[in-house]
Amino acid sequence: MDTVDEKPRQFSLDTLAAIWSRRKWLAILAFVALLAGGVSLSAFLPNIYRSAATVLADRQEVPDFFVRSTVTSLIETRLQTISQEVLSRPRLEALINRFGLYVDLRERVPMDMLVARMRKDISLELKSTELKGLREATVAFTISYQGRDRETVSRVANTLASFYIEGNTKARERQATGTTEFLKVQLAETKKRLDELEQRVSGFKRRYLGELPQQMDTNLNTLDRLSAELLRNADSQTRANERKQTLSSQLAEAESFLTPGAGPGTQFATPELREAARLEQKKEELASLRLRFNENYPDVALLAAEVAALERELAAAMARQSKRNSERNSERNLEAKQTATPATPYVLRLREALNEVQTELKILKTEEGRLRSAAAAYQTRVENVPRREQEFMELSRDYESTRQLYASLQKRYEEAQLAETMEQRQKGEQFRVVDPAVPNAQPAAPNRLRLLIMTLAGAIGLAIGAVLLAEQLDTSFHALDDLRAYSKVPVLVSIPRIVTRRDSLRRWWRIPLAATAAFTGLVTIVGIVYVAAHGNETLVLLLARVVS
């Protein structure tokens, strides 16, 4: 009897026994079906083996105090770079062909997919330690590979480890060589620029020789010496002029005695000579002041005005004296023609001494001109020193900075050469296999025991779920008590189930057919699982992640 509405059922042991009696074959079928699939899956899945090789990062053998390495990159960064080279398509393709990997997939998928599959099968794990006061540092790493043949897996893992060791050695050598080449190029360019600046400095020194800042003291000392010599020359000229004046007076007096009509008291040109000597002395003083001060200095301006006044007075006096001398000479010539008086030895000596004084004055004048010219040249040098110093400082600054840069590059280049030699001899930081990969007896996946336990739990759960679902969907009454509990209408009569011969015959045929259908279903499940699981490494890895 079916009903439209349904009330919650009260479960008890008798109810559960009745449900089991009605649904036992459904529960058994669901349990056996899932259990058969799980057991078949566990049996047909291929074994995946994993082998790992541990590589230790040995520190530099030569202490940093003696040779500083030019490879400053961290191990982690270098491993990433090496991984890109090791996991490149040509490398992995060569490994696939060398060890005959993925034979069952070669005819079905292209090589690019095989390379991508192998990248997934390779794993790199870093092992770090925390140094005192520093961050974590990598001291070792593990390179592993997984596959179906354990011998091949171990050989591939060891080969990959050797690739990392070789890649590290080449990477360090390449970086050390690159650093050396870079410094060599920079050193050559700096040397060329330094040579150009040296030529410019040498040319500047040759072009402005005597006006350089370091020659300032020498120029001042020479200028002081020339000033002193000019003062001595002026003193010598003053004394020579005085001697000349004295000799001229004595000669004039002596000649006056020899000349008729001239008395012993006659003085010839004595005031003019004295004015001339005074003028020469003032000129010497003015020249001496001009060597030390400029034209605007008060003493120089005052003395220059006095010299100009004396020159005007001397010129006027010389003009008057010249006129008188011309008249007197004409008279003397007339008298001398009338009576010629021979010169005495005293007059001759005076004339000879006067000539010597005049010669000395000429020499002193010449020496004065030379000294003034030299002093003017050194004065020009002294005045040009500040400008040359500024130019030389700008030029020297570039030269000094370039020289220091060249010295620094030279030192770094030599250190880089040592570091390159150290890397070539493999004395720097190197990778070393401390734990080579060996074939594992137990597969890494699948975990069959855990898979069977999960299958058993799932089968029990599926059986219970199937029974509960069937009971939930079934709205018929299976017992009189169910009807009475459902409706308040009294039950008048209960008719038991009448089993006919036809019902018995139908039941007899149903059992073999059900058994055959169940067996066929189980065989089908096992076949499907075989097709899906046989050689399916992807499924193994997926289940390994789910199970773990």
Residues 294-310 have a mean pLDDT of 74
- pLDDT, residue 264, reads 41
CA dihedral 355, 358, 363, 364 (to 10 degrees): 150
pTM: 0.57
Write down all domains in the chain, each with its CATH number in brackets.
13-46+445-547 (no CATH), 49-187+423-435 (3.30.70.1130), 213-413 (no CATH)
Above 70 in pLDDT, residue 84? yes
- pLDDT, residue 532, reads 81
Tens digits of per-residue pLDDT, 263-295? 444 344 456 566 666 777 777 777 776 666 667
Above 90 in pLDDT, residue 257? no
Residues 340-350 have a mean pLDDT of 66
CA 209 to chain centre: 42
Q: Find all residues with CB under 8 Å of 433, minimum gap 6, and list them.
A: 53, 54, 55, 56, 158, 161, 162, 165
Residues 223-228 have a mean pLDDT of 84
- pLDDT, residue 486, reads 67
Q: What are phi and psi of 273, to 5 degrees?
A: -65, -40
Q: Which amino acid does the sequence have at 77?
A: T
Above 80 in pLDDT, residue 545? no
Which H or E element spans position 51? strand 49-58
Exposure string (b/e) for 360-398, b if CB count within 10 Å is 16 or more?
bbeebeebbeebbebbeebbebbeebeebbeebeebbee
* Confidence band, pLDDT 50/70/90 cuts, at residue 6: very low
- Contact status, residue 409 vs residue 194, Cβ threshold 8 Å: no
* Confidence band, pLDDT 50/70/90 cuts, at residue 241: confident
* Confidence band, pLDDT 50/70/90 cuts, at residue 94: very high
Query: How far apart are alpha carbons 90 and 107 in whole angstroms?
Result: 19
Lowest mean pLDDT among 154-163, 455-464, 494-503: 494-503
Comparison of pLDDT for 72 and 162, the residue scoring more: 162
Q: What is the DSSP letter of 48?
A: B
Above 80 in pLDDT, residue 334? no
Above 90 in pLDDT, residue 365? no
Residues 332-343 have a mean pLDDT of 50
Above 80 in pLDDT, residue 469? yes
- Angle at CA of residue 126, ends 124 and 131, nearest 5°: 170
Lowest mean pLDDT among 74-78, 125-129, 223-227, 506-510: 506-510
- pLDDT, residue 2, reads 41
- pLDDT, residue 1, reads 39
Q: What are phi and psi of 54, to 5 degrees?
A: -95, 130
Tens digits of per-residue pLDDT, 430-460? 888 888 989 888 888 788 888 888 889 998 9
Above 80 in pLDDT, residue 126? yes
Query: How far apart are alpha carbons 316 and 321 in whole angstroms?
Result: 9
Above 50 in pLDDT, residue 338? no
Above 70 in pLDDT, residue 171? yes
Lowest mean pLDDT among 216-225, 283-292, 364-373: 283-292
